[in-house]
Every structure is written in C-alpha cells, then in structure tokens.
Amino acid sequence: MDQPQLRTLEATCIQEESPQCSAACPIHIDVRAFMGCLAKEDWRGARRVLDRTMPFADIVGRICDEPCRIACKRAEIGDPLAVGSLERFCVSTVPMVLKQPKLPAKGGSVAVIGSGLSAMTAALDLARKGRNVVMMTGDEEVGGSLRGYAEEILPARVLSGAVETLDSYGVNIQFGCSLNKEFFDIVRQDSDAVFFDRDCAGLAALSIDCTHPDPLTLAVGNDGCFAGGGTTENGFSIMKQVEDGRRASLSIERYLQKVSLTAQREREGSCQTRLHTVTIGIEPLKEVLPADPAAGFTKQEAAREASRCIQCECKECVKQCAFLQEFTDYPKRVARKIYNNQAIVQGTRTANKMINSCMLCGQCTVICPHDFPMAEVCRTTRENMVAKSTMPPSAHEFALQDMEFSLGEFSAMARHQPGLDSSRYLFYPGCQLAGSAPETVEQTYLHLTRHLDGGVGLMLGCCGIPAQWSGRQELFGQTMQTFQTEVRKLGDPLIITACSSCYAVFKEFAPELEVQSLWQILDKGELPEQKTAPPQQLLTIHDPCTVRHEPEIRASVRSILKKIGIATAEQPYSGELTDCCGYGGLMQFANVPLGEKASRAKGLRSDLDGLAYCAMCRDNLAASGRRIAHLLDYLFPAGGQEDPLLRPNPGFSGRHENRARLKQHLLTTLWQEEPTMPPEYKDIKLFIDAQVMVLMNKRHILEDDLQKVIFQAEQSGRRLIDPENGHFLASFKPVRVTYWVEYQPDKQGFVIHNAYSHRMILPGDVK
C-alpha cells in the first residue's frame, strides 16, 4: 500500500466525517461534542465547545436560530434536539471558559463599516488574527438589529459586553460616524480592505453597491471590498450574520496574504456531509421541555434533553463484525495501522495480529455505504508480508499443515465412478465436510451416482483457500494447478461442490471449469428418501459467508428445506449480510479467542436451533454450544446419529482422522483397492478425555502429534518420569513445533493427561 492508495482507502471510510448538525451549522459548531458534555453534566466542557467556534457566545448562544435542528438525525424518528434552547441554557449559566488567544500583530489594516453581528464577527476574527481593525458605525451602540431583542431574551448588558470583548482584542470602535461619500473615500484610502455589514442604515450613501456580494467570497468588486450580513430573501438569520462575518474575515485574510480567494472553500458555511448514521432501532424519545418555559432549562432538564443526542457516527460495519469490534477501530484507522505496520523496518510490527484476524468475509463491504474493501486490503497485506518474510510463522502454520494433510497421500484421491472409465460429473465434497461428516459424504456420493447419468467421479482434497487466505500465493497457485490437472485427467467433468468456499475458489480462479453447487444439483434433481424425520421446531438458517454473493445457491438450499419439510425462520443477518463463523480468513487459527467470539456471535443471531450448509459453520457453531445440524445430516444421515442437531464438533483431530478414514474406507469398499498403509506410529492407541481434547483443540495439537511423541519416546526411552504417579513426560519436534505430552501407559494404549507445545528450539530437540 502506498500513500495515494492509503488516501483513497481512508477517504472511502466516512466515520470521521462531520455529523449532520455540525455540517448544517454555518460555522460548524461541534454540536455532538456539546451534547455529549451536557449529557454528562460537564457544563464547563459544553461552554468550551461553544467558545472554541462561536463568536460572542454570550450573545449568539442566546439567540442562535439553530439551522442544525432540521438536520438532526433524531428528526427521522421523532423530535430533533433542542439545540438552541440548550445553547441558551449553557451561555446563561456558565461564563466564558475559553478565551481565544490573539495572534501577534501582522500589519494590514481593515475597516469594518457597521456594527451589526456580521461586522462584530468580522472585526473580532480579524483582530484575533493580528490585523489592525477599525470598526466605524453611525450608531451609538453595537448590535444593529440585535438591539431589537427583548431584554429577557438578550439583555442589553450582554449585548454591550461585546464592546469590551472587541476592545480586548484591540478593535478600534468609532461610533457616530457620518456615513457619506467623503467619509468612504478617506476610509478606502486608509484601509487595505473594507467589510460592509449590510445590517447598517446608510450604506446606500457610500457610492458602493453592496447588494450583490459574491456568494463564495462576499467580495464586491475586486479591490478589497466585501459585504455581507443583513436581511436577505430568507429574512434575518442570526447564524447568517455570523457566517457572513466569518466568511468575510477569511476572504480578507486571503486578500491581505495575496492568495486565492476561492480555492478550497467548499466546506465553509452549511455543507453536505457523507457521514452515514442509521436510526433504525433507536428509541424515539420525546423532546424534554423546560417545566418553566420563561426560565428555560434546569440543569437536570438540560442534561436529559442533551442525552437524547445519539452521538451520530457510522460504524455500521463495526456494529456487526467481531474483528472490527475486537480492535475497536473503523476501517479508516485499520488502513492507517496497516500502512504504518508495513512501513516498519526495525521494531515491532504491532498490527500483525490485527491483519491476520480479519475473516476476509466481505460483510463490512456489503454494509459500508462506500464499499470499503477491508478483506482485499487485509488479504493483499498478508501477501506482502509473506513476500517480505515478515509474516509471523505461527499465525497460519497449523491451518496450512491441515491443508497439506488434506492434499496428501492419506486423504486425497481422484477416481472415476467404480466400474466406469469416464466422468460426466465430479463430486468434490471439500476437506471440511470430509473431516466433519465422512459417512454423509459417502451417502451423498452414492446418491449422486445413482441419480446422475454419465458417471460421477469423486475427488477428495482441498481447494487451497487456506493458502489464499494466508497470503501464500505461490502455494495457492500450485494447489490450483494440481487440481486443474487432475480434473483434466478425468475428462473435464462438471464439478459438484458441497462446500461454498470451494465453489467460490473454483469460480474465481479456474473460470474455465464447469462448477455447480451440490445444492443446485439436488434441488433440480431427485432428493433421497428421507431417513431422518424433520425436527419439530423451527430452525434458523445460518448462511455461510462464501455465499454472500450467490443468491441462487441460497435459494436452492431454501427450496430443498421446503421440499423435505424443515420449517425455517430467517434471521436479519443472513444472505448477503451473513456473518462468518470465524474460520474465514483463518481468523480462528491466527487469533484463537477471537475465533471463538466470532462463532459465538454468529450463533447468537437467533435463539432458534440452527441449520448450516457449510461444514465449518456447522462445526464452529456446534463448538460454541449451539444445537445445529448440517443440511446433509437430514438428507443423508450417518448411521448411529440420532439427532443431527446434537452432533458434536469433531475438532481438529477428529476431522484429520475422519479424512484419512474416509479415503481408506471408500478405496477398499467402492473401488476394491488396497489402502495406503499408515505409518507405524499410527498404531499407538490413545485415551483422551473430553477436557484434554478441548485443550488440545485450543492449543492446535493433534492426536497425530501425540502419537509421534509417544512412539519416539517409547522407542528411545528418552522421557521424564514422575515417580509419585508413574506419569511420563516426553517431547518431540516433528517439523517446527515441539510437542510435550504427559501420559501413562495403559494395558491397551496410553492415557493422555496433558499436552502443550512451543516453537522455541532446544539444544537437544529430537527431530
């Protein structure tokens, strides 16, 4: 990712855009922060927010005509916030907290003609910036039309306080000037720039037309004269006075600095914001009205009204995603962290874990109003990390070894249908279904061979998506190539996938192959005679993340469910918006606790028992404690399985062993072939209780690893012994990880008491 790419990405995420209220405010007061302070009764904090942006807050705060109110998102669901009344409460009860500093004098003299609010604002802003300002008015007081306010709304002492304020910044105020042509000629000669407040009687006599200032710059002519304020076709607006005064002061600054008067001023004044805030589900609370309208809000009333502010933000993606929640960030900041992480040459790359924790499922992109491509950003970053050898080895190794095993001699196979030498179809159940429900794979295959003409071949293997997710492009490329070669050897049959990840991979990376999902085939063809009664209760469908963009597959599944009489209920986050179970992007390997959170979150989308049609979703949700079945469990039940909803998670070891057993079983029973002999250590019989098994799953330790350790220890005699209980402790490092096993010989095998591992290499590590 380079700087321009980062900028583009950052601009895609709109979380940091202004809320509607601030955007609508002509001077962009941080109304959201103001409300936040009031809600937590931080009165001085609220006043500080106003002081930061609002000129003459004591005056404007009392009479602000709140153009932000109609923009308030609460208006979508009820009463908008009473911003004006709250400003009034704030400035009436809390004296000024923040006095803006005056910058050092920097020359340039400005005449401000008139003394209305826009003149006051322009004079104040320019004086703060160190300009020499003379305010000239025919009046004897400041305020212009503001003097028409009733005393109880804007007390005269508050309005005249503005004179003191202007004085304190060095504004020279000249009252009682005779506004005529001679006066103006002198002013023009003595000043570098002039601002005319149109809320001032007698401007017409000055031989300058102030009626049509340029809307962007407020310039009248091009010789340093500017005009604004006063009554327009929309009437007399307080905030329009302030806006014009501020806009004119900025124009005059630019004019005095001899820079463009027009460049990059789009966001001055009321403007549009891209911030996207969803109000669905927010309680439409009624506006809090002061019990005594004349006295205004009490403190409690003000806090209650302000606490109705929903503190607008987007974070729609964060609300749904366990990954974004975990790293308490929105995509813009994730992009920035990734950029910084890859820029580190020496030092700790603190974002590695984050980068490897994204499920790459694309849910956030669907939710995002601007389609922030989070998955693509994280995945390509992983690719770069692998290319630059900065990818932490432990993040994906276990998953990649699992993939290697699925593709290896003990699990993988490709055959034509028994007795045939060509295949019109090829059933590809996928590594996880073979690992989760091997008998179901066999039953499904037999069904397909009985109902499809032209021969149905079978291929066991892995599509390679773990390599793709982990950024191993080379490995993924090789895997795809081997797969394509195998398919070609079988005569380019139509591939029927039971796994939607495999389906997505083949579609994207082998577009020349013909692929259909098992669900489409079954829905179009004949369904098996049902052997398991449909459940009595409603089930909720857990769509896998890899069918997010496959509405036809989702429809086929629903159609099959209907045909076999399983009543289902949809949940709000299904279909295009569905969650990942934590397997996606290998999240559950790179970040074990977060993987558990993600699967729990998916399971909790509905109180109903679940139905999945992705083996990983099924197993992960079962592991998280949900009652959940795989659709195939109802179509092709395994023997001895009573209630598919209660099928336990086989765990990593279980899936591993299941794949090997499936191949051996099918080869011997269907093809009458000799199975590949397993290595000698596989004869070691283990007894592992459920608790230790859970531990092993979390620690990514397989039964296979334990067998290797014990085989080696028993052969060599190199092991520790605890004389108290007769337990042995031995270690072995098959490849990169050293496994330790505490065990005890038993008549038929070995009882396992504990297992753990480390990657640090010891001097005597047995290989």
Partner 1 sequence: MSNFSFISDTEWRCGCCNKELQPSKVNVEYMGSVFNVELMACPACGFVLVPEKLALGKMLEVEQLLEDK
Would you tell me which residues interact with partner 1 (CB under 8 A)?
347-350, 352-353, 392-395, 717-724, 728-729, 731, 738, 740, 754, 756-764
User: How far apart (Å, rounded) are the C-alpha atoms in residues 356 and 352?
Assistant: 6
Q: Of 52 and 698, which has the nearer Cβ to partner 1?
A: 698
Q: Of 304 and 698, which has the nearer Cβ to partner 1?
A: 698
Least separation in angstroms between CB 740 and partner 1: 7
Q: Which helix (H) or strand (E) holds 36?
A: helix 31-39
Least separation in angstroms between CB 596 and partner 1: 17
Q: What is the DSSP letter of 69?
A: G
Count of alpha carbons within 13 angstroms of residue 317, beta-carbon side: 29
Strands (E), 149-200: 172-174, 193-197
User: How far apart (Å, rounded) are the C-alpha atoms in residues 377 and 401?
Assistant: 25
Q: Of 409 and 765, which has the nearer Cβ to partner 1?
A: 765
Give the count of beta carbons closer than 10 Å to the beta carbon of residue 375: 21
User: How far apart (Å, rounded) are the C-alpha atoms in residues 483 and 598?
Assistant: 31
Helices (H), 298-456: 299-306, 316-320, 322-326, 331-343, 352-355, 363-367, 374-387, 397-407, 431-436, 438-451
Least separation in angstroms between CB 685 and partner 1: 21
Give the count of beta carbons closer than 10 Å to the beta carbon of residue 8: 11
Least separation in angstroms between CB 351 and partner 1: 9
Q: Of 356 and 444, which has the nearer Cβ to partner 1?
A: 356
Least separation in angstroms between CB 54 and partner 1: 47
Q: What is the DSSP letter of 464?
A: S
Q: What is the DSSP letter of 545?
A: G
User: How far apart (Å, rounded) are the C-alpha atoms in residues 337 and 339?
Assistant: 5
Q: Of 588 and 658, which has the nearer Cβ to partner 1?
A: 588
Q: Of 391 and 612, which has the nearer Cβ to partner 1?
A: 391
- Residues in a beta bridge with 173: 135
Least separation in angstroms between CB 355 and partner 1: 11
Q: Of 414 and 751, which has the nearer Cβ to partner 1?
A: 751
Least separation in angstroms between CB 755 and partner 1: 9
Least separation in angstroms between CB 588 and partner 1: 17
Least separation in angstroms between CB 630 and partner 1: 34
Q: Of 538 and 721, which has the nearer Cβ to partner 1?
A: 721
Torsions phi, psi for 196 (to 5 deg): -105, 120
Q: Of 351 and 463, which has the nearer Cβ to partner 1?
A: 351
Residues in contact with 515: Cβ distance below 8 Å, sequence separation at least 6, in sequence order: 494, 495, 496, 497, 503, 506, 507
Least separation in angstroms between CB 46 and partner 1: 43
Least separation in angstroms between CB 494 and partner 1: 43
**In Å, what is the CA distance from 266 to each residue of 248, 261, 263, 270, 340?**
15, 12, 8, 9, 30
Q: Of 336 and 727, which has the nearer Cβ to partner 1?
A: 727
User: How far apart (Å, rounded) are the C-alpha atoms in residues 38 and 46?
Assistant: 6
Least separation in angstroms between CB 727 and partner 1: 9
Q: Of 684 and 701, which has the nearer Cβ to partner 1?
A: 701
**In Å, what is the CA distance from 438 to each residue of 177, 432, 502, 655, 666?**
97, 9, 17, 9, 10
Chain centroid to CA 286: 31
Residues in contact with 172: Cβ distance below 8 Å, sequence separation at least 6, in sequence order: 133, 134, 135
Q: Cα dihedral sign for 624, 628, 629, 630?
A: negative
Tell me whether strands 109-113 and 193-197 are parallel, antiparallel or unpaired. parallel
Q: Of 669 and 715, which has the nearer Cβ to partner 1?
A: 715
